Structure 1
């Protein structure tokens, strides 16, 4: 009641233009606090509220310049409200922290799937996208994707079937290339020991960027396009593939199109766990095109030797070429 009487006196002084800035600030704050508590304002209080313009209230609480620090002694009932607001904010902060501490570890936790020689695995990601991982490959991905993007890291080869989401792009990171899609299917071959990294598109559109050279423009690939990145000269080359050949390895077929014997033998080493030895280095760059079912190594080597015009000998897990 005493605070009310003090407030009425201040309102009367305000109407007469006798209040200073400190008292004007106190009037504005009290009016707001009374409304927050749901109290009915008296006619004189309503008149004072109407007299205070919006610009005055804004300047009181959001000054354009940093005001000088003033010590204002508030009534006891205002201190109680402040304490209640502090408790409410504290509980809100605790709730937010407890609610999100279960989510943050999932975003920061990565899972990893690895395949061995001659082994393939199918992975279903949190968004429903499916990835078929070829042999001797590794895929690293989060337990749950963030709200803005879907990111995975690949070493080796994989065929991606990505669920479309225009608001959350899907990104594949290799050691040299960044690949981004919204929803499509494509194949990525990125073995560290290979001279080339390749990206081939089965459906949709795929964007590819050289992560080591920001000056290089991103390339947009369409179905049937294959982009190869050459590690030595850091250049790109483009070619065309039949859609059915893009993930032929996934269905038990091997398709080589103008690939060097060196590239082919590296793939066969991963499939059959054998070692190739070249007695004639000129054979390394010999190009071969061959389509065959994934069959016994002896049969495959016979077909390769006829296509590439070379001789070979199989001794245990070593194959010598000349």
Structure 2
């Protein structure tokens, strides 16, 4: 029996004692008044506690705090010598319901403490989740707003893959701007200069090219857009598929192009003209490193040479600029191109680090 008392007392200290064991524990305390052996064990226990508590006020205080919710042990801790009579009097005036009520209050305080801890943890988790969601939304928004700018300097060309799988061949002296991610209902890019587009088909998300005052819309096709700021017109040439072109301000009716058709938008009259081209490959030859001129004024040829080779072309006689040029040059140096033109239209030229100077009397009759 004495061992059982020790076990119950240890459970009480550890706060692991249940309601039934608590009632039995209190009954042992009451019996200690008449049971010399039990009384001796209880005294031994208190002497042990006193011995362990010497020089360890903090531990003793902590130990007392374990029992401060219980009025029975509080009496014992205050007065070791007269514990039996006091405990006996308390038990006689108490009922089992009182004991259970006290224990329920302890449980309430215990669970309320855990509830508060859980509530705080839940708030932290919710706050962290909200922060993560907002940060991801901000990251996504930032990604949607982020744009990439690609340029091809004079004398250079580049191939640019787009986020949707489309591929753009960018000509010399050109610039392409596009988002890192194509969000929304369309795939929009902005072009300044010349580029050939091979668009990945997506019927649910049209591909839109904004070039100056002209807007080109496709679902999936290949086409060329030439829109240098210094040119008088913007040109769209279709290689495959179907393309819609319209003015940005909506003042020109939308026009639809099919292969071998070319749209030209004049900045001055703000009108779209459509024509068929017998050999569309002439307009797309630049992709293969081919310069091809078919009855083109020398002034226009000069602008192409400036972009192609990265030089400045100057005419000493403006009449030479009106000469019409025919010819094809594949991966030729500027010097070889000018040698061919020299014999074709009777001109002279001078190529230096400052640029290309063209001289001559005029066009041959």
Band the TM-score falls in, shorter-chain normalisation: 0.5 to 0.7
Report the CA distance between 1:94 and its aligned residue. 6.3
The CA RMSD over aligned residues, in Å, is 2.5
- Tell me the residue number matched to 2:169: 132
**1:194 is the counterpart of 2:231:** yes
Report the CA distance between 1:315 and its aligned residue. 3.6
Report the CA distance between 1:210 and its aligned residue. 1.8
Judged with a 3 Å threshold, the aligned counterparts in structure 2 of structure 1 residues 305 and 153 are, in CA distance, closer, same or farther, namely: same
- Tell me the residue number matched to 1:229: 265
- Tell me the residue number matched to 1:320: 358
Give distance in 2, aligned partners of 1:232 and 1:204: 29
**1:152 is the counterpart of 2:189:** yes
Aligned counterpart in structure 2 of residue 164 of structure 1, from 201, 208, 228: 201
Give distance in 1, aligned partners of 2:291 and 2:164: 30
Give distance in 2, aligned partners of 1:120 and 1:216: 32
SS at match of 2:293: strand
Which structure dedicates a bigger proportion of its chain to helix? 2
- Tell me the residue number matched to 2:153: 116
TM-score by length of 2: 0.58
**1:206 is the counterpart of 2:238:** no
**Residue 151 of structure 2 contacts residue 174 of structure 2 at CA under 8 Å; is this kept in 1?**
yes
TM-score by length of 1: 0.66
In the TM superposition, 1:1-322 aligns within 5 A as: 97-212=134-249, 214-237=250-273, 238-307=275-344, 309-316=345-352, 317-322=355-360
Give distance in 1, aligned partners of 2:338 and 2:207: 39
Report the CA distance between 1:191 and its aligned residue. 1.0
| Bigger Rg, which one | 2
Give distance in 2, aligned partners of 1:224 and 1:266: 25
- The ranges of structure 1 where at least 4 consecutive aligned residues each deviate by more than 6 angstroms after the TM superposition are 89-95
Where does structure 2 lack aligned partners over 5 or more consecutive residues?
1-122, 361-365
Where does structure 1 lack aligned partners over 5 or more consecutive residues?
1-86
Report the CA distance between 1:175 and its aligned residue. 1.4
Judged with a 3 Å threshold, the aligned counterparts in structure 2 of structure 1 residues 209 and 224 are, in CA distance, closer, same or farther, namely: same
